[in-house]
Chains A and B, each alone.
Chain A
């Protein structure tokens, strides 16, 4: 206890030297998403400019603050002034902003997106508060509270923001007290299934075993989801503290983080954070004199989606092919090396320090009854404001897609939730509250939190085909319903997308999907037909258009449409002819162009570059030779 207070005091002192210093502080978001947008090059420019101006300053490399569509984000905090955020900061822009701020004391309000100060400052400068941005205002930040605010590679920063205070409270409460607190919080597993967290813990605590394990599931395999990556990259200690609390509550001594190898930065930051914990005495033998022994190791996944399933993950950790095993016995009773094993999602662990720090009751005030707390989502696809968001459970899809996501540019068509095992919900579901029960009732699942917004340019049949390509490829092959079923679903969808579909194919889809749901061995196989079933349910007309009309209205299934240029809309700019790699577009500048559909390979390049919406997909003009009659 004394030792903890000492390191905490020290951390606070270190943090204050930064915040109260007479030097400028510059924040730059360098998580993977920021890096993809060019943040490292901006960082170089920042360092270069500071050198040029001979101006000492603190540079903090922080995690993702959320609005990824604004990346790279650079913030400047001048002494005595609030922190101000600038978006889409290229190296040139960084140079310009810094020079103006540091030499001319000019904060370039026209370039700023928001500040973190009080209302007065907005009056003074006209810069809006950052958290008043349309994308951020409806959000509640509990899990992501430190992301974008601290240097994730610095333990002191985490400690200065009440880090490990939750664990200290846990030590005071004792293991059963901790489980009580988690029960009161109403926290449910954030991996998607929504099993009450405390129940899993109780089973695991009461299970007999000479050794017990805690595993953090960071094998975020859902394409289109990156919440876990962002959390680990932005605040790794929060996840590790959660594991520490869980280990203490169930009486485990070993922890593993099973993280995707595709997330190199997350792996690196976890490794560093664990090293720091060991040095600070937060891991190892007799942690802070409590008599509790615990150590954490990182295990990298090797690229198999099914390893996100608990029993497959255990097989993988044991050095086997990552194939699921029949349950029961559940891992909480008999898991890794035959011992009781607690597996929770990264986000569940990320929430725990908050629950223990501020109390279960406090946490349960967010969200709705039975679905308490907040949940992070990756809001991507055709939404205007893409990024990482955190909202209370029970918020409607409409609020998420339109208020936070800013809606779509082309007309909204659907939102896909829950990853490849989830479903596609149409506009009629926009007022559905996002919680475990409502998502399931609609035929989808909550999943780990990917939300992919789709507009009119997305073909639903193609999307179902896409997900089945994924499921077929990632099926581990152990049980027949999944191995063969996913193959049949895929081939049938491919047939429909080629324009060879018949009504009976829909029947095949239903029957196979039903068999898989009832007989597949693990959750992955049982839910793999979800994308097919939900699209059949809510977008049947699109299947019908493909089968009977032989037409793909979205212009995606290449054999079921051709491009046409609407002469009235085409000003003859010639962009389309430039990008056409098969010389299918001809015409004179300033006059409407035409497309030779014989030559056109439907690569979509012209469609993408046309700024006048003059190029449209239309039904194939030659009637199909094969007329199917039933």
Chain B
């Protein structure tokens, strides 16, 4: 990202250290990741060293330094998802796509990340694909979703609607 772009992004921010994280977030939002060039420009703008920026950015799991994939697949490994089989979904991704958390398929199509809790615990286990959260996932359903991603290279923007994707009815206790 060039200097002028970063200035544009930081219009309402004060040029001080406290603005570093918000600015990094905005850069990542626009560019998809934080490039070396952007770090250089931010360092000049906020008058802090590039090393400091790397130090701060690498501490937080949100920031990435490589170009993102076209589709984003996240498997939630929060506690509720863990007890409902989240780990099995992660294994399924590895089996199907050969990806570990933080990796992208060689063709740049799917980027995979394991995350800690998306806050939809009552709908566990959940996965997030391109910003949409899918509830009550099983390996079977995940394979379907992965196939959609690999065949169309972009998932249809449909929300989970079919009866089987809705939370399963749990029989009331007698």
Binding site for B on A (CB under 8 A): 32-33, 35-38, 40-41, 68-72, 88, 90-91, 220-226, 229, 260-264, 299-305, 316-323, 378-382, 384-388, 406-407, 409, 416, 419-420, 450, 452, 454, 458, 463, 466-467, 470, 474, 476, 579, 581, 603-605, 608
Give the chain A neighbours of B126 by CB distance below 8 A: 36
Beyond A302-B21, A386-B121, whether A41 also contacts B133 by CB under 8 A is: no
Once the chains bind, are B172 and A304 in contact (CB under 8 Å)?
no
A603 and B142 CA atoms in complex are apart in Å by 14
Give the chain B neighbours of A229 by CB distance below 8 A: 119
Question: Interface with A: B1-9, B60-68, B102-110, B146-154, which one?
Answer: B60-68
Beyond A41-B159, A605-B139, A608-B85, whether A406 also contacts B173 by CB under 8 A is: yes
Give the chain B neighbours of A379 by CB distance below 8 A: 122
Once the chains bind, are A321 and B55 in contact (CB under 8 Å)?
yes
Beyond A88-B166, A319-B21, whether A33 also contacts B140 by CB under 8 A is: no
Give the chain B neighbours of A320 by CB distance below 8 A: 17, 56
Once the chains bind, are B122 and A38 in contact (CB under 8 Å)?
no
Min CB distance, B108 to chain A, in Å? 23
Given contacts A305-B116, A608-B138, 17 further A-B contacts (CB under 8 A): A36-B126, A36-B134, A38-B135, A40-B159, A41-B159, A68-B167, A69-B167, A71-B122, A71-B123, A91-B161, A223-B78, A226-B122, A318-B17, A380-B79, A380-B124, A381-B83, A386-B121
A33 and B118 CA atoms in complex are apart in Å by 10
Number of B residues contacting the other chain (C-beta, 8 Å)? 60
A605 and B138 CA atoms in complex are apart in Å by 8
* 8 closest A-B pairs by CB: A68-B122, A223-B78, A224-B79, A302-B60, A303-B61, A223-B117, A319-B20, A303-B62
Beyond A300-B25, A320-B56, whether A409 also contacts B170 by CB under 8 A is: yes
In the complex, number of A-B residue pairs with CB atoms less than 8 Å apart: 191
Beyond A38-B159, A304-B61, whether A378 also contacts B121 by CB under 8 A is: yes
Pick 26 A–B contacts, CB within 8 A, sort by A.
A32-B120, A32-B133, A37-B167, A38-B166, A70-B167, A71-B123, A90-B166, A223-B77, A223-B82, A225-B121, A226-B119, A226-B122, A260-B119, A262-B115, A262-B117, A262-B119, A319-B21, A322-B59, A378-B121, A407-B173, A452-B80, A452-B83, A458-B83, A581-B95, A603-B139, A608-B138
A317 and B21 CA atoms in complex are apart in Å by 8
Once the chains bind, are A71 and B22 in contact (CB under 8 Å)?
no
Give the chain A neighbours of B165 by CB distance below 8 A: 38
Give the chain A neighbours of B158 by CB distance below 8 A: 41
